[in-house]
Amino acid sequence: MSTTKVLIITYYWPPAGGPGVQRWLKFVKYLPDFDVEPIVYIPENPSYPLLDEKLLSDVSDKTVILKNKIFEPYALASFLSKNKTKKLGAGIITQKKKQSFIEKAMLWIRGNVFIPDARVFWVKPSVKYLKKYIQENNIETIITSGPPHSLHLIGLDLKKQLNINWIADFRDPWTTIGYHKELKLSKWARAKHKALEKEVLTTCDTILVTSPTTKVEFECLTNQPIEVITNGYDVEKIEKKSLDEAFTLAHIGSFLSERNPQILWESLSELINENEEFANYFELKLIGAVSKEVIQSISDYKLDSFVQNLGYVSHEEAIMHQRSSQVLLLIEIDSEATKCIIPGKLFEYMVSERPILAIGPKNSDFENIINQTNTGVFYQYNEKYELKSQILSYFNQYLDKNLKVNAVGLQQYSRKSLTEKLAKTISKFNGKTKG
Query: What is the Cα–Cα distance from 257 to 293, expressed in whole angstroms?
Result: 6
Query: What is the Cα–Cα distance from 294 to 290, expressed in whole angstroms?
Result: 7
Q: What is the pLDDT of residue 431?
A: 59
Split at pLDDT 50, 70, 90, the class of 1 is low
Question: Roughly what angle, to the nearest 10 degrees, separates helices 123-137 and 150-162?
Answer: 40
Q: Which domains does the chain have, with CATH numbers?
A: 4-232+414-427 (3.40.50.2000), 247-411 (3.40.50.2000)
**Encoded amino acid at 311, one letter:** G
What DSSP line would sit under 95-120, residue for residue?
A: --SPPPHHHHHHHHHHHHTSSS-TTG
In this predicted model, which residue has the larger pLDDT, 85 or 13? 13
Q: What is the pLDDT of residue 227?
A: 97
Mean pLDDT of 91-115: 69
Q: What is the pLDDT of residue 111?
A: 79
Which residues are CB-neighbours of 171 under 8 A, at least 6 positions away?
Answer: 20, 23, 145, 146, 147, 210, 231
Q: What is the pLDDT of residue 389?
A: 97
Q: What is the pLDDT of residue 321?
A: 92
Mean pLDDT of 72-79: 56
Query: What is the Cα–Cα distance from 319 to 299, expressed in whole angstroms?
Result: 27
Q: What is the pLDDT of residue 432?
A: 59
Gyration radius (Cα) of the chain, Å: 22
Mean pLDDT of 321-344: 92
Question: Above 60 in pLDDT, residue 95?
Answer: no
Q: What angle do CA 199, 203, 205 make, to 5 degrees?
A: 145
Q: What is the pLDDT of residue 182?
A: 73
Split at pLDDT 50, 70, 90, the class of 26 is very high
Q: How many CA atoms does the CB half-sphere of 191 hold within 13 Å?
A: 3
In this predicted model, which residue has the larger pLDDT, 2 or 60? 60
Question: Above 60 in pLDDT, residue 85?
Answer: no
**Tens digit of pLDDT for each residue in 305-329?**
999 999 988 888 889 999 999 999 9
Mean pLDDT of 207-220: 96
Q: What is the pLDDT of residue 81?
A: 40
Split at pLDDT 50, 70, 90, the class of 159 is very high
Q: What is the pLDDT of residue 97?
A: 55
CB 251 within 8 Å of CB 331: yes
- Mean pLDDT score across all residues of the chain: 89
Question: Above 50 in pLDDT, residue 59?
Answer: yes
Mean pLDDT of 199-222: 97
CB 315 within 8 Å of CB 288: no
Q: What is the pLDDT of residue 20?
A: 86
Query: What is the Cα–Cα distance from 211 to 227, expressed in whole angstroms?
Result: 9
Q: How many CB atoms lie within 10 A of CB 187?
A: 7
* High-pLDDT (> 90) share of the chain, %: 71
SS3 state at 149 = coil
**Tens digit of pLDDT for each residue in 369-409?**
999 999 999 999 999 999 999 999 999 999 999 999 999 99
Cis peptide before 15, with omega less than 30 degrees from 0?
Answer: yes
Which of 47-56, 89-98, 381-390 holds the top average pLDDT?
381-390
CB 229 within 8 Å of CB 418: yes
**Encoded amino acid at 324, one letter:** S
In this predicted model, which residue has the larger pLDDT, 220 or 20? 220
* High-pLDDT (> 70) share of the chain, %: 92
Give the N- to C-terminal CA distance of the chain in Å, as an integer.
Answer: 23
Split at pLDDT 50, 70, 90, the class of 89 is very low
CA distances (Å), origin 404, targets 330, 350, 374, 409: 17, 12, 11, 17
Q: What is the pLDDT of residue 87?
A: 45
Query: What is the Cα–Cα distance from 168 to 145, expressed in whole angstroms?
Result: 6
